[in-house]
Chain A
Amino acid sequence: MVEVGDWGNFLKFLGAGIAIGLGGLGSGIGMGFSAEDGVKGISIQPGANNEIFKTMLIGQAGTGSASIFALVIAIILVFIGTPSDLNQAFAYLSAGIAIGLGGLGSGYGAGLAGKAACEAAARQPRFNNTFLANMLVGQAVVQTPIIFALVVSLILIFMSFPGGDLITIGALLGAGISIGLGSIGSGIGTGMAAEDAIKGMGKKIEESGNLLKIMLLGQAVAQTPTIFALLVSFILLFIGDKGNDLVRFVAMLSAGIAMGAGAIGPGIGSGSAAQGAAKGVSENPEATPVVMRTMLLGQAVAQSTSTYALVIAFILIFVVK
């Protein structure tokens, strides 16, 4: 006979595996990006090997932080006690899903910033410290989505959701899926924006102020989808509906899937617009105002599908009875 506690441990360990498995995947690829352009840079410009080596290692450290968040959650899940009931067990599983999927995007995106910094350092080794500072600013913004995911994971692990009913389980799983999937797009998108901004600094160091401005503005807009996903996660976490209704269970889960997956495209797309804008500003700095206007208009239109996803998620949570 399988007891409730056994199911609880099963789900808890499953969550730990998902957390570090997926969370390590993004960072692993991202750290490889930095190494790729670090090695390329040293082979072209061996005289600058000290600068490039430093940039590569710091870039990889910044990229690795995404997997460290995932590692922390995985370790907590491995060593935390047996969950007392099914709600708690599913909350642990959902915490693993949130941080695991969240690490995919931020790890990949931070790697793009590190890659560009290595390229810039190879081009102009004298200004290596400027590239490093801007890379770290860019990577810090890229980490925002996974920090949202970390917050949701910690709430799922340490808040108590007593009982074992279908609606609460649906809402808890939906909360983890929403912020987990929802942070993939913004993580990759903000990384793409940082990539071309830092690359541009390597070509035109005198435009670094302009490029930093356009990078941060573009990244801020590219965060919007993950903020929608965080909103849906919080609503699902604190809605407090209980019961064993199958239809409401599926509605909560489906709201998480709609918002989470719906945030992937607009996040990558807005980031891609910011990437093009950074490239444009680095090629022709006089056109900065008109490029910025085009970027914001294009990003606003690219956001529209995440708004549809938010509407569908709200209808599933609040209207379906």
Chain B
Amino acid sequence: MDAITGADLVRAAALLGAGIAMGFGAIGPGIGEGMAASKACEGVSRNPEQAGLITRTMLVGQAVSESTGIYSLVIALILIFLFGGK
């Protein structure tokens, strides 16, 4: 077995960080966007004529909730490709 160098340790930490960042970063947006969709469904059933307006509001709200998931994705990609490579 080859000895583990300091550089290997840093790469390993970067990859573990990427997994933790993306995994846990995906929890919040997933739950949050679901809450928006849940209330949109209730709203549409109460007032079907306004379906277009409610759907638009839902999508804008979800797009904003999505942002932290995209931050996690960006950080994970940076960790893997900038610090996880040889």
Contacts and interface: CB of A to CB of B under 8 A. Distances in A.
The residue in B45, B58, B72 that gathers the most chain A C-beta atoms within 10 A of its C-beta is B45
Contact of A269 (B2, B19, B33, B43): B33
A280 B66 contact: no
Interface of B: 1-2, 4, 8-9, 11-13, 15-16, 18-20, 22-46, 48, 51, 54-55, 58-59, 62-63, 66, 69-70, 72-73, 76-77, 80, 84-86
Interface string A259-290: 11111111111111101110111011011001
A105 interface: no
A312 B73 contact: yes
Nearest to A184: B27
B23 A258 contact: yes
Nearest to A259: B23
A160 interface: no
A274 to B, nearest CB: 8
A295 B37 contact: yes
Interface SS of chain B: helix
Nearest to B66: A304
B22 A262 contact: yes
Nearest to B44: A294
A290 B29 CA distance: 24
Contacts of A140: none
A31 B45 CA distance: 32
Interface of A: 181, 185, 189, 225, 244, 246-247, 249-251, 253-273, 275-277, 279-281, 283-284, 286-287, 290-291, 294-295, 297-299, 301-306, 308-309, 311-313, 315-316, 319-321
* Residue from the set B20, B44, B46, B85 with the largest chain A CB neighbour count within 10 Å: B44
A246 B69 contact: no
B22 A301 contact: no
Given A265-B32, A294-B55, 5 more contacts: A253-B16, A269-B29, A284-B46, A287-B44, A294-B54
B50 to A, nearest CB: 10
Given A257-B20, A308-B22, A308-B69, A280 B44 contact: yes
Contact of B11 (A244, A247, A281): A247
